């Protein structure tokens, strides 16, 4: 019986890994695998550092399982290069990679060839999405629409006056509905940043 590790990733707190888990458990049952551990990340696939993935790779190097099972190829890697690096390491460690959605199994040469093609398509799709977003932002800018938050409009003289009249930084911030960091920057004559807005 082959020892299998499940890797699940969802990109936001609104998504549930249980949706992926049901399909993977069914595949495990059909193939007669033995689940040794489940690794889960709630993060964008583009993020380089993911605790669940890092733990999975560390355990792979320790020989804790024979197969890695994922719901889809894009769940595990942030780019084609990253994907191929992971697959190459699994190959060197004699660990099979199986993807439920794409029906890929790297235990054979055909599976390994398909993985390279699927990885390239996934990266192309992601790049097309990024380009569409950028094109939309460029169009909005040309049309004169505001992109992102409007800059803070502050009365620097009034803030300094409030401070001169003995008000605390916290009081000024609360009264003017800005952060204490913003008040401090105004008093020091430093530029105000977007992150200085109150939560």
DSSP string, 143-180: TT---SSPPP---HHHHHHHHHTT--HHHHHHHHT--H
CA dist 21 and 74 (Å) reads 15
Annotated catalytic residues are: 11
Phi, psi of 117 (to 5 degrees): -65, -45
189 — alpha (psi -120 to 50), left (phi > 0) or beta?
left
Contact between residue 87 and residue 106 where contact means Cβ atoms under 8 Å apart: yes
Task: State which H helix or E strand residue 34 sits in.
Answer: strand 34-42
CA dist 168 and 58 (Å) reads 51
Tell me the C-alpha to C-alpha distance, in Å, between residue 82 and each of 90, 120, 130, 151.
12, 11, 18, 38
β-strands 96-99, 104-105 pairing? antiparallel
Torsion of CA 44, 49, 55, 56, to 10 degrees: 50
């Amino acid at each position: 019986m082959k020892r299998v590790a499940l890797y699940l990733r969802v990109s936001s707190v609104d998504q549930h890994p249980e949706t992926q888990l049901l399909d993977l458990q069914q595949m495990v049952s059909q193939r007669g695998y033995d689940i040794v551990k489940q690794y889960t990340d709630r993060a964008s696939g583009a993020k380089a550092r993911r605790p669940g993935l890092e733990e999975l790779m560390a355990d792979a190097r320790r020989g804790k399982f024979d197969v890695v099972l994922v719901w889809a190829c894009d769940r595990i890697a942030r780019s084609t290069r990253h994907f191929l690096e992971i697959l190459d390491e699994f190959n060197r460690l004699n660990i099979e990679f199986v993807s439920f959605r794409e029906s890929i199994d790297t235990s054979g040469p055909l599976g390994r060839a398909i993985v390279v093609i699927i990885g390239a398509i996934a990266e192309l799709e992601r790049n097309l999405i990024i380009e569409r977003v950028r094109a939309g932002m460029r169009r909005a800018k040309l049309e004169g629409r505001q992109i992102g938050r409007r800059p803070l409009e502050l009365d620097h003289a009034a803030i300094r006056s409030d401070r001169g009249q003995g008000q605390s930084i916290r009081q000024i911030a609360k009264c003017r509905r800005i952060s204490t960091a913003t008040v401090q920057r105004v008093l020091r004559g430093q530029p105000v940043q977007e992150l200085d807005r109150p939560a």
